[in-house]
A and B are shown apart, each in its own frame.
Chain A
Amino acid sequence: MCNLKSLNIQYLSSNYEKNMKNNYSIFSLLKNSLSYHENWHQAWRDPEPKKEYDAIIIGGGGHGLATAFYLAKKHNMKNIAVVEKGWIGGGNTGRNTTIIRSNYLWDASAGLYDHALKLWENLSQEINYNVMFSQRGVMNLAHNLQDVRDLKRRTHANRLNGIDAVWLTTEEVKKFCPIINTSPDIRYPVLGGTLQRRAGTARHDAVAWGYARAADAMGVDIIQNCEVKGIKRYGDTVEGIDTTKGFIKTKKIGVVAAGHSSVIANMAGIRLPLESKPLQALVSEPVKPIIDTVVMSNAVHAYVSQSDKGELVIGAGTDAYVSYTQRGSHDVVEGTLKAILELYPIFSRMKMLRQWGGIVDICPDASPIISKTNIKGLYFNCGWGTGGFKATPGSGDLFAHTIANDEPHKLNASFNINRFVSGDLVDEHGAAAVAH
């Protein structure tokens, strides 16, 4: 049985390689350079929807595309579609600050996010697309005694779960990132910090494009500019979706609509424990390399890294009110920049180039929902709040498992929708709610 299974996997993966007709490699790069890079093959098709699919994923962001990819690759479901209202990766996938880490407090979260981190480590090879995953480390700063206690506790919890984490003293923080102001007389003095060296960043657009291309190569239809207008049910079973491109029949619907999850849930007649709020980020003008890691500070809500183009990538906070406007309040950005300037006086004359917002769906316990629902064939992957990007591969993998088997994987069993009834919450507010 075991042998058969591994044979099957080998067969599938060789099939997958064959389907990747236009593999990206040093040779394809050389070949295409001869024709001035004008003959690169289209990365994915632009098909019209078929009448019926075995499964439909609503939402063409990183999580949705990853779900389709793993459904095709691991669960041999080829007749599937991803429907996207706008364009691939135009939502939160392309709007986040690209931070990847797994240093969460609770066992359930540790399992989920470290599963994702392990997939990140091999993702560029797996999808034959350079996602520029860079394990430059993520450092979390402590500014008061409670921060110190919380972060030390989290470090111990991480290590018990096999996740690398170390505590740094103020001197070690300064050594690891010399531009931080560690003077004891500032408003938010640095009393120490934690470091996860395996954590880092990846290029978020490449993640969407890479998954889209790899899923498409296995026959997944990616249908852009196709807005879902209704979920058709027969009793407690789904029948299909009404879209701006007509009705599409299916038995399984996976909803990965981030900030718009409640809108889709409303179409299906179910309620979710979500609130959608604008989360902002901004980038500066590009400068020479100055910060080679990611520094986050939950207490003052500021986090910063530097992109490969040289821009400082700065994450601000969410607004406290529900809004779908993809912009945020100025005072939120102002608060973040004040904290950044005190921690990094060297940035005081930097000019900010762009600022934007994305709509994040926040759960009351700051943990996601990857779950079946009371409606047969309707699955939700939502509630990632301010920190979904880091989980993209793991989320897709576990959601694909849940859809294909109609049962959650053991790693996402805790993240069911029913936890809000049973009270068995995964309360990550202390470890994760503020900064992602």
Chain B
Amino acid sequence: MFIITCPFCGERDQSEFSAGGEAHIVRPKQPTELSDDEWADFLFMRKNIKGVQFERWNHAHGCRKWFNVIRDTSNDKIHAVYKMGEKPPTK
């Protein structure tokens, strides 16, 4: 249970948001040329990091926009929030 700062609406309770999982998983450019291993990697394999993780969230009960969050999964502390398409802040 934590507060997420939506880049469009500001601080809201986490229950207003849907978690979209790991961020920056790039959709294959030429899916027909992918091997089974590469498909498995894209579809199923996840970093599932204990620590600082990059993830996608959707403000489902608000503006309904997607954005990225950098969150420490070991204590649920949020380090940064940035919009879709933006490069993650480096610090």
Contact = CB atoms under 8 A, between A and B. Distances in A.
Interface string B19-57: 101000000000000001101110111111110010100
Interface string A270-302: 011111100000000000000000000000000
Contacts of B18: 320
Interface residues of B, number: 25
Contacts of B74: 324-325
A321 B55 contact: yes
A424 B15 CA distance: 35
A321 B19 contact: yes
A420 B55 contact: no
B46 A421 contact: no
B28 to A, nearest CB: 15
A263 B44 contact: no
Contacts of B46: 262, 271-275
Contacts of B21: 275, 322
Contacts of A331: 1, 15
B75 A325 contact: yes
A331 B60 CA distance: 15
A358 interface: no
Contacts of B76: 323, 325
A328 interface: yes
Interface string A248-285: 00000000000010110010000111111000000000
A58 to B, nearest CB: 15
Nearest to A364: B44
Contact of A273 (B14, B19, B45): B45
B73 A323 contact: yes
Nearest to A277: B19
B48 A274 contact: yes
Contact of A272 (B19, B45, B55): B45
Given A271-B41, A329-B15, A422-B36, A322 B1 contact: no
B55 to A, nearest CB: 7
Contacts of A260: 50
A421 B48 contact: no
Contacts of A324: 50, 73-74
A300 to B, nearest CB: 18
A330 interface: yes
A274 B47 CA distance: 8
Nearest to A333: B1
A324 B53 CA distance: 12
A330 B14 CA distance: 10
A275 B75 CA distance: 16
B50 A263 contact: yes
Q: Which of B41, B55, B73, B75 has the most CB of A within 10 A?
A: B73
Contacts of B75: 325
B60 to A, nearest CB: 10
Contact of A271 (B39, B45, B73): B45
Contact of B1 (A274, A328, A420, A423): A328
Given A263-B50, A276-B48, A324-B74, A330 B37 contact: no
Contact of B48 (A275, A325, A327, A422): A275
Interface of B: 1, 14-15, 18-19, 21, 36-37, 39-41, 43-50, 53, 55, 73-76
15 contacts: A262-B46, A266-B47, A271-B45, A273-B44, A276-B73, A321-B14, A323-B73, A324-B73, A325-B75, A327-B1, A329-B1, A331-B1, A420-B45, A421-B40, A422-B36
6 A-B pairs closest in CB distance = A321-B19, A273-B44, A262-B48, A271-B45, A331-B15, A421-B40
Interface of A: 260, 262-263, 266, 271-276, 319-325, 327-331, 361, 364, 420-423
Given A276-B73, A320-B18, 18 more contacts: A262-B46, A262-B47, A262-B48, A262-B49, A271-B46, A271-B47, A273-B40, A275-B46, A321-B19, A322-B21, A323-B73, A324-B74, A325-B74, A329-B1, A329-B15, A420-B40, A420-B45, A423-B36
